[in-house]
Amino acid sequence: MSVLGALLLVTALGADPEPTPPPDPLAGSPNVQFRVLEPKPFPDALRHELTLQPFVPQIGSTFTTHWLSSFTYTFHATEWLGLRLQPFWVWHAQRSRFSSELLSRVRQDAAAPSSVMLQWGAVAAPEWSPIRGKFTAFGGTVRYGFVLFAGAGVGGTEIELKTADSVGPATYGSTGLRMVATGGAGFRVQLGQRWTVRLEVQDLIHWGSVSHINGCNATDLHTLDQQRTSGGITGAGVSSQCNVGAFQGTTGGGYDRSNDVSIAQAKVNEGGSDTLHVVGVYLGFGVEL
Amino acid sequence: MRRQAFLAALLGALACAKGGPSPELLAVARAPDASPSDALALGQALQAAKLDATSIGPLRTAAASPGPAQAVAIDALLAAQARLDDQLLVPAFLAAHPDLRPSTPELQERALLLRGLELQRTGALEEAEKVLRRIPAGSPLAPRARYALGIVLSDPRRPGGPRMQAALDELQAVLDYGGGGCEGTETRALAQLAIARLLYGLRQDSASAAAYDRVPRDSRVWAESLFERGYPRFRMGDDGGALGTVHATQAPQLRDAFLPEARILEATVLFHACLYLETRGILDGFTGTYRPLSERLRTLVERRASAAEEVALVTDPAQRASLGEGLGQSLLAEPRIAAGLRLLRTLDAERAQLTSVGAGGAALEQLDGVREEAEQATAQSIHARLAEVSASLRDLLEQADVLRFEMTKGEKELLDADVDQRKLLAARSLPSLPTGGPADERWRVDGEWWSDEIGFQRATLKDGCPAQKATPSVR
Amino acid sequence: MSFIRVLALAGLAALLAPARALASPEPPVQPRLYPVGGRFSLAATVGISVFDTLTRTGTLEVRAGWDFSEWLGLDASVTGALSGHTALADRIGQHLLQTPAVGTVDDLSDLWQLKAMVLAGVRLAPVYGKFNLGADLPIRFQAYLWLGGGAAWLDRTSVVICRNVTSREQGTCGDWFTESRVAPVASAALGLRLFTGVHGAVVLELRSLVWKDDYLLGVDRAAAEAGNVTGQRAPSPGFTNTMLVQLGYAFIF
């Protein structure tokens, strides 16, 4: 027997035919119509939902890779509308594999504004659930809703200074707070009265130029660079928000952090701006109170 | 007794050496049952060999005879009944021997419950009421007892007449009991259904419909409640609700429920709206399906079949399928019939065990006696149910004929008034369907049945009656 | 039948048996308004690549399928593709050519472009559902996981190995190093069939195509620009993953 024939035989065993119900005399009648009005087993209105998205990988990134965790509080004002508050923490942000390859093979690097990474943030957004449905799988019925949301918030950002090499791991400098816009869509499944599962695709959008690194602008960095070449960074003559301490001392691997000054200066002097998208797949597990 | 014990020990040693049947099984194979004490010993030995069904025979003998063996025998008999969940033989025995007293309060309550249920089943309502009232409210058997008491109090045959409010109080009290596992859940579902029926009888239609809605969806009686809730809705004037819920009994998921009356109620609602074409379609389908079944049942009920033949009607898949239209499955689901079939299967398994050790004599004789009785009792239950269904179908077919006659009258009146009903219906629009609230999910009904949606169907229907000559209310 | 085949079939039966056992309890939906078991389907889709880095792709696919049951089907498809470099890839090439041709360079990964493909695979569709688009407008759908593989006809145009520099100043090349090959491809997809009727459904898929990458390392730039491409094949080139969003229509007979 061929493999395909065996496949057909085996799977034919799984093809349980559905029973054909008798014809309904009222089916075609123009004088009678039926509708199902089924109360939602567990309504959402005026309930609070707490969702944890423990691992969110960034997808479709070019120069950076973000892995983050987020927590979402959603207040369901009605069955259709809600408001979500979502803080997030990026616990892994680094140059992408493509960016590393570009640098090592052809000695080209992404522009500074295109290399800014998110560190943390919080966004708020109204949430709309225009479509509700249900599906059957493995003998059970599951209710779900399609959700859309868009909003804004704020986030902390950073940029890579020294790349990872034989001397030690990469170093980073803060590029300050930025506004973060967000938008996304996904599905929300209710399991019983309390538990929910969400699968959403969400974009965290931030934009701007790299004008400050560790609070130091181009002038501050020039001053620090001159101090470095003269014998040591003192921090004198820089603006008050310039975090001189970030360029002093050594890392755990013995790298002298004052070397970051020239790198930071080059990035700040590049100019330009860019809009960056951190698109992630958010699988979350929630509880509804 | 000493010789018997020695024989058992010897056979046991042989069995262990050879790895054969259990020593208890071997011991019963040759034990006598001449006197009540012998019968008790045999019964206990059978129970030790896990042959509970066979043990009913000798234990009844021992329990029926006054003497030192009686008290022990009644306790052992009740223990066997609990393990087997026997609803035929032991309850009948207890009802026939009302003075037997088990040794512990728990067993006494159990005996009272079984007696009470048997008395209620056989129509001895006054005695049943007295017996069931003796079970304390805190007993784990109280929910079942109070449910049965509620049924007794509401029975129209009750001496002194039914006491509806008292029945409602008892049934309501059943709902307040929690726990009880599967049996507790089933009892509460039955009580909920009974409350709905009583409220309908008291013409409290809104409360009755609400009570029907509370029957749990996963209970054995949910399909019945689905169809029955059409009655209070129809009487309240909620034709759309009545038609919707009754129409839902056609769902494929409910094909194992036997509900012929649902079609008559559906036809009645449509007839009330003067939708004669639709009514005729429902009635034609009804008679096409159930007239042949009614004739088949009449033949089955009138024949003098043996107990084995009656039981085979339900146990043989081909014969059961010939009953058709969910009747076979609904018979299997009847608690008393299911209990009887379960007992017969257990007895057959025990027979195989006894014959495997080459047993003859007392044990096998006892088993055959018990089996014959169990088969008779089961067959009687099957026959009674078939007779009930046959009579009910005859009534329903007559109702269908009455509806057809009334329809013909109505159509004649339309003709006499020169009313073209087709034009009348075409000119009228369907009332809009209810939209529900924000937390309601609305779905079109288009021939695909989802299990969770069954019971939430609502209908809207045109009024086909001419304004001046509305059909008199059939409510 | 060979031992391997027996093992494979036993494994398949083991895979299907629990699914069948799960399906044996009364199905929640009876009867399905749009059953697919025992039916043949023919579909056409157009697709575009998403998450592009160095290449972008557009596809046109024709697919034939057979559904053994409501939840298991088999598909075979033929795809033609139009693909090219992204603006980023062109800029990388341009910037490299503007630097002096000194030393060696390693080519970049993930530059193979799809030209044509044949695929066959299994479609597992345990999910059947519906949603309301408007009042009384239910849309029914099947959601499925598609797993399979096939062969892909691929072309590659380098962005670092130029055989004829036309302008060093402007970083333009007249003849980039190109290659072609046929490679095995594995594919997985998540998809929806949104039924428009008993005989048709809109198909929406997110599909992943994976093939083994292949490129040169240590290419002497000066020699390459003189027309002599040197270098050695990367020993562990990894895999290229191309994600496509495909939209189309299936006729179900």
For A197-251, the pLDDT digits (tens) are: 999 999 999 998 899 999 999 999 999 999 999 988 888 889 999 999 999 988 8
Q: Say whether residue C198 is in contact with chain B using an 8 A CB cutoff.
A: no
Closest CA–CA distance from residue C118 to any residue of chain A (Å): 18
**Contact residues, chain B, for C130 at CB < 8 Å:** 443
Half-sphere exposure of B260 (CA within 13 A, CB side): 28
Check if A79 contacts B (Cβ < 8 Å). yes
Q: Is B434 on the interface with C (CB under 8 A)?
A: no
Q: Tokens at residue A174, please?
A: 């803060």
On chain B, the residues whose CB falls within 8 A of the CB of C26 are: 253, 451
Query: CB neighbours of A278 closer than 8 A, spacing ≥ 6?
Result: A58, A61, A64, A66, A118, A203, A204, A205, A206
Give me the count of residues in chain B: 475
| B97, B71 contact by CB (below 8 A) | no
Closest alpha carbon to C93 in C152, C22, C168, C28:
C168
Chain B: residues touching A (Cβ < 8 Å): 243-244, 247, 250-252, 255, 270, 275, 277-278, 281-282, 284-285, 425, 430, 433-434, 436, 438-445, 447, 449-453, 456-462, 464
Degrees to nearest 5, angle at CA B112 with B106 and B114: 105
What are the chain A neighbours of B456 within 8 Å (beta carbons)?
36-39
Q: Are C166 and C173 in contact (CB under 8 A)?
A: yes
Alpha-carbon span B65 to B86, nearest angstrom: 22
Question: Does pLDDT of C62 surpass 60?
Answer: yes
- Please report, rounded to a whole number, the percentage of residues in chain A having pLDDT higher than 70: 92
The answer to whether ipTM exceeds 0.90 is no
Among A26, A36, A80, most B C-beta atoms within 10 A, so best to mutate, is A36
A residues 130-189 closer than 8 Å to B (CB): 132, 134, 136, 141
Give the minimum alpha-carbon distance from A84 to chain B in angstroms, rounded to a whole number.
Answer: 20
> If you count them, how many residues does chain A have?
289
The predicted-structure confidence for C214-229, as pLDDT tens digits, reads as follows 999 999 999 999 989 9
Cβ atoms A225, A212 nearer than 8 A = no
Please report the pLDDT score of residue A286 as a whole number. 97
Cβ of A15 within 8 Å of Cβ of C68? The answer is: yes
Share of chain A above pLDDT 90, in %: 73
Cα–Cα distance, A72 to A51 (Å, whole number): 5
User: Is the CB of C68 less than 8 angstroms away from the CB of A11?
Assistant: yes
**Residues in CB range of C107: below 8 A, 6 or more apart:** A105, C158, C160, C161, C215, C216, C217, C219, C231
Residue type, B234: F
A13 touches chain B (CB under 8 A): no
- Both A45 and A156 in one domain: the answer is yes
Q: Which residues contact C162 (CB under 8 A, 6 or more apart)?
A: C93, C97, C173, C175, C176, C177, C224, C225
Chain B stretch 447-466, residues whose beta carbon is closer than 8 A to a beta carbon of chain C: 447-452
Interface probe for B, chosen from C34, C70, C131, C136 (most Cβ of B below 10 Å), is C136
pLDDT in the model for residue B37: 83
Preferred mutation among A1, A2, A7 to probe C, highest tally of C CBs within 10 A: A7
Q: Which helix (H) or strand (E) holds C49?
A: strand C39-50
Crossing angle for the helix pair B361-416 and B52-64, to the nearest 10 degrees: 100
Q: Answer whether B449 sits within 8 Å of C138, measured CB to CB.
A: no
CA distance C131 to chain A (A): 4
Residue A108 counted as domain residue: yes
pLDDT band (50, 70, 90) for residue A19:
low
- Point out the residue among C26, C28, C136 whose CB comes nearest to the CB of B444: C136
Quick check: B171 and B162 in contact, CB under 8 A?
no
Instruction: Give the number of other CB atoms < 10 A from CB of residue A17.
Output: 11
* Per-residue model confidence (pLDDT) at position B237: 92
Q: Which of B252, B442, B452 sits opposite C30 (nearest CB)?
A: B252
Nearest residue, CB atoms, A33 vs list B436, B442, B460? B460
Distances (CA, A) of B65 to B42, B317, C57: 15, 42, 94
pTM over 0.95: no
- CA B449 to chain C, closest CA, distance in angstroms equals 5
Distance from CA of C60 to the nearest CA of A (A): 23
- Looking at the fold, whether A230 and A172 belong to one and the same domain comes out as no
Inter-chain residue contact B458 with A34, CB threshold 8 Å:
yes
Domain shared by A205 and A223, yes or no:
no
Question: With an 8 Å Cβ cutoff, is A38 touching chain B?
Answer: yes
Residue type, B425: L
- Nearest by CB: A36 against B277, B442, B460: B442
A24 vs B: CB within 8 A: yes
Report the alpha-carbon distance of residue B31 to residue A237 in Å, rounded: 112
Section C67-89 average pLDDT: 96
Predicted pLDDT of residue C9: 47
Q: Let me know how long chain C is.
A: 253
A120 plus A257 within the same structural domain? no
Q: What is the DSSP string of chain A?
A: --HHHHHHHHHHTT-PPPPPPPPPTTTT-TTEEEEEEEE-SS--TTEEEEEEEEEEEB-S-SSEEEEEEEEEEEEESSSSEEEEEEEEEEEEEEE-HHHHHHHHHH-----GGGG-EEEEEEEEEEEEEEEEEEEEETTEEEEEEEEEEEEEEEEEEEEE-SPP-SS-S--EEEEEEEEEEEEEEEEEEEETTTEEEEEEEEEEEEEE----BTTB-HHHHHHHHHHHHHT----TTS-TT--GGGGSSB-TT--BGGGHHHHHHHHHHH---EEEEEEEEEEEEEEE-
Residues in CB range of B415: below 8 A, 6 or more apart? none
| Sequential pLDDT tens for chain B (475 residues) | 455 554 554 444 444 444 556 666 666 655 655 678 888 888 888 898 899 999 999 999 899 988 888 889 999 999 999 999 999 999 999 999 988 889 999 999 999 999 999 999 999 999 999 999 999 999 999 999 999 999 999 999 999 999 999 999 999 999 999 888 888 999 999 999 999 999 999 999 999 999 999 999 989 999 999 999 999 999 999 999 999 999 999 899 988 889 999 999 999 999 999 999 999 999 999 999 999 999 999 998 898 788 999 999 999 988 888 887 689 889 998 999 999 999 999 999 999 988 887 766 778 888 999 999 999 999 999 999 999 999 999 999 999 999 999 999 998 988 888 888 888 889 888 888 877 788 888 898 888 999 999 999 999 999 998 874 444 444 5
The whole-angstrom separation of Cα B242 and Cα B248 is: 10
Q: What is the mean pLDDT of chain C?
A: 89
Residue C16 pLDDT exceeds 70: no
Give the one of C8, C70, C109 whose C-beta lies nearest to A101's C-beta: C109
- Enumerate the domain spans of chain C: 3-252
A115 and A50 share one domain? yes
Residue among A30, A34, A40 minimizing CB distance to B441: A40
Answer yes or no: do A228 and A197 share one domain: no
C25 touches chain B (CB under 8 A): no
Query: pLDDT of A52-78, one tens digit each?
Result: 999 999 998 899 999 999 999 999 999
Digit-coded pLDDT (tens) for C97-139: 999 988 999 999 999 999 999 999 999 999 999 998 876 789 9
What pLDDT does C195 receive? 97
Check whether C11 has a pLDDT greater than 70: no
In contact, B417 and B470? CB cutoff 8 Å: no
- Of B68, B67, B43, the C-alpha closest to B56 is B43
Whole domain around residue A229: which residue ranges? 216-270
Does C28 contact B at CB distance below 8 Å? yes
CA-based radius of gyration for chain A: 27
Q: What is the pLDDT of residue A12?
A: 46
Q: At what angle do helices B68-84 and B89-96 cross, to 10 degrees?
A: 140
**Chains in touch with B (≥3 Cβ pairs < 8 A):** A, C
Q: Are residues A279 and A168 in the same domain?
A: yes
Q: Is the CB of B457 less than 8 angstroms away from the CB of A80?
A: no
Closest chain B residue to the Cα of A136, Cα to Cα: B450
Residue of B nearest to A80 (CA): B438
Q: Which residues in C lie closer than 8 A to residue A106 (C-beta atoms)? A: 92, 95-96, 105, 108, 160
- At A168, list the tokens: 């030690």
A:206-225 residues touching chain C, CB 8 A cutoff: none
Q: What is the rounded distance in angstroms from the CA atom of residue C2 to the CA atom of residue C8?
A: 10
In a domain, A30, yes or no: no
Give tens-digit pLDDT for A41-53. Answer: 899 999 999 999 9
Chain A from 106 to 125: CB within 8 A of any C CB: 106, 108
**B103 secondary structure, DSSP code:** S
Q: How far C34 CA lies from chain B's nearest CA (Å)?
A: 9
pLDDT at C4 over 70: no
B436: nearest CA partner in chain C: C135
> How many Å apart are CA B9 and CA B409, to the nearest integer?
85
Q: How confident is the model at residue C1 (pLDDT cuts 50, 70, 90)?
A: very low
Q: What is the pLDDT of residue B359?
A: 64
**Residues whose CB is less than 8 angstroms from the CB of residue B469 and which lie 6 or more positions away in sequence, other chains included:** B413, B417
Å between C131 CA and nearest CA of chain B: 9
Element (H, E) at C92: helix C87-97
Residue A14 has pLDDT above 50, yes or no: no
Q: Report the pLDDT value the prediction gives residue B41, as an integer from 0 to 100.
A: 87
My answer on whether A206 and A248 are in the same domain is no
Residue-by-residue DSSP string for B271-311:
HHTT-HHHHHHHHHHHHHHHHHHHHHHHHHHHS---HHHHH
Q: How many domains does chain A have?
A: 2
Cβ neighbours around A92 below 10 Å, total: 13
Q: List the structure tokens of B153.
A: 């109090």
Pairwise CA distance, residues C113 & C128, whole Å: 35
* Contacts C32 to B, Cβ<8 Å: 448
Q: What is the pLDDT of residue B165?
A: 94
CATH architecture of C3-252: Beta Barrel (2.40)
Name the 3-class secondary structure at B42. Answer: helix
Beta strand residue intervals within B229-382, DSSP E:
none
Q: Is A3 inside a domain boundary?
A: no
Q: How far apart are CA A157 and CA A209, in angstroms?
A: 12
Q: Calculate mean pLDDT across residues C45-71.
A: 96
Measured between CB atoms, which of C38, C131, C141 is closest to A132?
A: C131
Domain match, A112 and A227 both? no
**Is there a contact between B448 and C29 if contact means CB atoms under 8 Å apart?**
yes
Q: Is the Cβ of C136 closer than 8 Å to some Cβ of chain B?
A: yes
Closest chain B C-alpha to A33 CA, distance in angstroms? 5
Strand partners for A84:
A74, A125
Same-domain pairing of A55 and A173 = yes
Asked if pLDDT for residue C18 goes beyond 90, the answer is no
Same domain, A168 and A246: no
Put simply, whether B345 touches C (Cβ < 8 Å) is no
**Rg of chain C in Å (alpha carbons):** 23
Q: What percent of chain C has pLDDT over 70?
A: 90
Q: Do both A129 and A235 map to the same domain? A: no
Which domain CATH number covers A111? 2.40.160.20
